[in-house]
Structure 1
Amino acid sequence: MAQEKFILYSFVGSQWANVAHLGLAEKGFKSDDYEVKEVDLVKAENFNHEYLKINPNGTIPSLTSPSLERPLIESTDILRFLDETRGTSLVPSDPKAKEVAQKIIDLVHSNDLTTNLILLQAHDHEEMNAKRSSMWNDFVRARQAKLEEGKTAHPNHPFYGPKSEENGALYRLYTSASEDELQRFYETTHDMYRKFATGLDKLDTLLVLPYAVGDQVTEADFHIVPWLSHALWGAGTEPSDVQNFGTLEALIQKTMPGFEVKPRIKEWWSNISKTRAFKEVYPQLH
């Protein structure tokens, strides 16, 4: 009897969903081994009541399988689930390398290195006006509309109230903020870019090379790749210009003049971009 497929809930524009896609590529899964269900983040489908039954955090990715008691809703757990099914493990066997890998994973998933900074924040009026005229304005508005709809339909649901307040603060900045509110927003953006720059420098010190923790590709590599690709793309880098860090550096330099991405990160990126899984999932930045 054929083995039942697992289902990956994904979206082409989701940075963390691509942790799973890199794992699928690395482990040699075929398209008929699993099913992908697209959850459109631009339309805020991740906030649909039915999807929240799968992932109560309303995030992407998620994975369900007949072999699992409950859905997996974190990219780290999903990659490890895929990893355990076949081939050489992506989790380092050496305790020291395993510790470094976990530090790297924790760092790129931390608030200090959130790519929402690049996608949704603004340094000044010029950037804010550009955001308001871009897809991000539609994104913020669609999220708020879906959250308000969910709050009305399901007033006792624990997700919709807090999330609508959280997103509502950003929605108001995009639609009706006062000058004072915008100036505070810009100050927060500068603070966040300082932390982002510090986080990049910390990542540089953690990398062992040629890959994240040494000679073998590990789970750490497959968490850095989607995060860094999304940061480069979000900064405005031409998607086909995979090795160009200049646009991201210029954006950070608005807060940190003279900032440059350190050489070890660039060397690691050059190395990992030559791997089969990278080429399959990232023919261009996204």
Structure 2
Amino acid sequence: MLTRTPHLFDDATKVTPGDSRWQGHTSDDYWAFVGPFGGCTAATILRAVMDHPQRAGDPTAMTVNYCAPIAQGSFDLDVRLIKANRSSQHWCVEMTQGDGDVSTLATVVLAERRPSWSHPQASYPGAKAFEETLPYPQIAAPWVKQYDFRFVEGEPKRGGPAGPVETFSKLWIGDRVPRKIDALSLLAMSDAFFARIFHAKRELVPFGTVSLTTYFHADAADLAAEDTTRVLGIADAKIFHKSYGDQNGELWSPGGRLLATTTQIAYFKA
């Protein structure tokens, strides 16, 4: 049953408009081990663009570069429309705190999605139904408690065989308090896969996303038509080398529509 009170996710991503400089505040509910959950930060930035009076179109692509640690408390967002044409807009957003140093830098592409030839090249991965899959036990980080993770394959484990293991996962992801999937929650969930290095090493190691890119393959009308509170995600990695590793993922609706694809590069210490 959907909540009728303000959802914690909407509270966490709330922004206050200004002329070009908007304001926000970190959320304890979406805190990770040493800073805010990166997906929540990305969604907050996207909300500022989506709420901007000059905004036209739906998100098509977004890249977020996490330049420096984000401290608990308030932050400023410098929101700028860089270029617009008849069908797309290009935005740049800088997040700053305190002395004005940039902590997060994002670019966002919005587009007017028009009917066209369509061909779903990727195949729906399929999975046991959400209701038939056991919830993953909660772990210490507050942001994890805001989601309902249900692993179909590749749940993270501690200990086990020597040497790296497979990093593929297939899982259902939904807000623990159900919320309809929109562009903001879809973006946050694109960063909600547990770090692939945790799967490969079977242990928690120092880790941080450096750059996240998400491509949206559904606009607001598509998401409204799917009318879902959860997605089926798959994630994997291709390489861990000299302190950096990649991660790639797909987010699907239960009805079999590819909603978003994502990739990131992350620092680790192991």
Report the TM range for the smaller structure's normalisation: under 0.3
Give the TM-score taking structure 1 as reference length: 0.22
Relative contact order: is structure 1 or structure 2 higher (C-alpha 8 Å, sep ≥ 6)?
Answer: 1
User: As a proportion of its length, which structure holds more strand?
Assistant: 2
TM-score by length of 2: 0.23
Larger Rg: 1
